[in-house]
Structure 1
Amino acid sequence: MASKGRFRQEFRLKSFGLDHGQPRDFTRSPWFSSPVPFLMYRTVVCLYQVCTYATAHSIYGVSPKSLIYLTELGYIILTAHTVVSAVLCFVDFFGSRCHPKSSDDQTSFTEADVTTARSTDSLPWYYKGHWVFYNVVFGIGLYITIAYWALLADDTGPRSILFHAINCVVIVIDVSVSALPLRLLHFVYPSAFALAYVIFTVIYWVAGGTDVNNNPWIYTVLDYGGNPAMAGGIAAGSILVAIPLCHVTLFGLAVAREMLAGHVKRRSAKVDVQMEQRREHGLA
């Protein structure tokens, strides 16, 4: 999976697109043959995100102006992602129970399945939308964590840890345990989201908008009036460099997951073959 051919495919123009022949990669884990453990995982993460978001805002309060902050937007879309992911897993689980396959088709994530399925594009539109959302949420989420602690950190309280550290832990765990594909060229999606946010901050500043403390900026590093060179550099660097690098980091984690999962499957298959041979020879 992580061969030279695998990386060459990442730089083809069609890799900008959303063609993927195995829909169940979006609702299953490469680590389990049964969908139940991953369904439970998705449910727990979804409940965690919803409960922590609601609890944090009930304790610290929330106002409409909080929506101007990328941190707030990032946590909202991360929470929404966990809800959508859980719903898709439930739909897949109960759909597969209503339309069971024959015993010959029960095995999930075999090499033959992957090779055959990926030869065609059978991905429904809602999975494609989820795929774009996934790239945006995770790329922006990792960027928020790095940018906050590198440029803005002035508070190490529980709220900052929750919104700027644990959010990243959730992202890393999800990439590690899910089978959701990551493509290198899909960095365009989180970068497009960042571009839209930068445009919003400029419009907000021009319109005379202020932060929650009535300062004429949203973030001090985006003070277009007081330090336009720094603000422009931060904005451009985030869109063109930082966020693509965050996506590349997640891509590397996904490739490592694929390599390790493939290695485990091959070892398991080898052990199964050896056990079958022992049984055939009356040694087990």
Structure 2
Amino acid sequence: MKLPKLELSMQKKTCKPAMFGRLWHAGRRSLNLDHTPAHQFACSQWQTTLQPSTSYLIYRWLLFTGVLATGLASFACQRLPSRYEGPPVEINYFKWFIYFTNWGFMLIALQSGLALAVVIRYRSQKFFSTCCDDDDALMPRRPRTPLLCRAYWLAQNVATDLAFVITLIYWTLVHNPKIHDINALNLLVHGANSAVMVCELLVTAQPVRAAHALYGVGAGVAYGVFSAVYWALGGTDRFGLPAIYPALNWNQPGSAFGFVALCAVVLLVAHALATILAALRTRVASRLRPRPHADRLALPSH
């Protein structure tokens, strides 16, 4: 039996809003920072218990103190390069905050501090519970992930993407052997930053969602906007030049916009790499160390 043309047209009109509604809700669900079970943020992928292990707590303390000490040393030990031959320049320590490298390193310090706080919180609980697992059919709605865990997850996503991009862009486009010294501190902030975040991807238990690449891209675009505003207000780099980075010179807006767009693309690629590493980690862990709670600790749930 054929339906009248009027009924067919009405079905098409009602199907389109429903389809767009499902796509909108799916997009929001993939972009949010809720994850079950929440205690996964406090555990290592390689531990055998559900409660945060002592070895993982020690790892978190060592990482946080190391990153914090490196950041403080980077701020306190500012000096002109040994090969600098320009006019005399007075060091302005507060210009440390205008560089993208230091933005990325501050995010690493933030995420390592939040990760430590998450572990301490869950270890201090007297009754450790996993009542928010995916298979809990008695609860009509899952409780929201604690704000501390969501902040840590966001910081780790952005810090990971920025670390990869900072290392790549610095050694390919920014580093000038005639100006920049290659010393321990330079290697720590432009090389060890990525090594630390790779280690984090291999050790931690929380997943990496592909849609969260937008957060890293947003941070990169925010820095581009900051550099443009800083330039418009007459700000200079530590040598007194109008551009923070030669490639990000807003006196040439076309090349500056192109550099920001390039960084956004590289940030997407960096997040894709992080997603692949996290997926490989969970697969290897599930095969090498099978355990009764592997589905609760190793597999991501959305």
TM-score scaled by structure 2?
A: 0.75
Q: Secondary structure at the match of 1:19?
A: coil
User: Structure 2: how far apart are the matches of 1:209 and 1:56?
Assistant: 21
2:96 to 66, 69, 78: 66
**Residue 126 of structure 1, CA deviation:** 2.2
Greater than 6 Å deviation, 4+ residue runs: none
Q: TM-score, normalization: structure 1?
A: 0.79
Counterparts in 2 of 1:220 and 1:116: CA distance versus 1, 3 Å: same
Answer yes or no: is the 8 Å Cα contact 1:20–1:121 preserved in 2.
no
**Residues 99-135 of structure 1: CA distance to partner in whole angstroms, max 9, x if unpaired?**
256xxx8xxxxxxx96526993541122122221221
Contact 1:21 1:117 (C-alpha < 8 Å) held by counterparts: no
Distance 2:110 2:287 in 1: 33
Correspondent of 1:44 among 36, 42, 62: 62
Q: Secondary structure at the match of 2:220?
A: helix
- 2:162 corresponds to 1:153: no
Q: Which of 33, 57, 67 is the matching residue for 1:18?
A: 33
User: SS where residue 258 of structure 2 aligns?
Assistant: helix
Report the RMSD for the aligned CA atoms in angstroms: 2.3
Question: In structure 2, what is the equivalent of residue 139 of structure 1?
Answer: 161
Letter in 1 for 2:114: V
Counterpart check, 1:162 vs 2:188? yes
Secondary structure in structure 1 of the residue aligned to 2:250: coil
Pair 1:255 & 2:289 matched: no
Q: Which residue of 2 aligns with 1:273?
A: none
> Matched residues, percent identical?
24
Residues 102-181 of structure 1: matches in 2 within 5 Å? Answer: 115-116=134-135, 120-154=142-176, 155=180, 156-181=182-207
Q: Distance in 1 between matches of 2:71 and 2:136?
A: 38
- Residue 96 of structure 2 aligns with an amino acid whose one-letter code is S
Q: How many residues align?
A: 245
CA contact (8 A) 1:135 1:190 kept: yes
Q: Which residue of 2 aligns with 1:234?
A: 259
SS at match of 1:116: coil
Distance in 2 between residues matched to 1:55 and 1:218, nearest whole Å: 21
- Partners of 1:31 and 1:100 in 2: CA distance: 19
- 1:244 and 2:255 are equivalent in the alignment: no
Q: 1:210/1:58 Cα in 2 relative to 1: closer, same or farther (>3 Å)?
A: closer
Q: Distance in 2 between matches of 1:39 and 1:48?
A: 14
Q: Is the 8 A contact 2:114 2:148 kept in 1?
A: no
What is the CA distance between 1:12 and its match in structure 2?
4.3
Match of 2:20 in 1: none
Give unmatched runs, 5+ long, in structure 1. Answer: 1-10, 106-112, 270-284
- Alpha-carbon contact 1:22-1:122 (below 8 Å) kept: no
**What do residues 47-76 of structure 1 show as CA deviations (whole Å, max 9, x unaligned)?**
111122223333336711111101111111
Equivalent position amino acid for 1:235 in 2: V
Alignment deviations for residues 24-44 of structure 1 (CA, whole Å, 9 cap, x no partner): 111101201242121111111
Q: For residue 89 of structure 1, what is the aligned residue in structure 2?
A: 119
Higher helix fraction (1 or 2) = 1
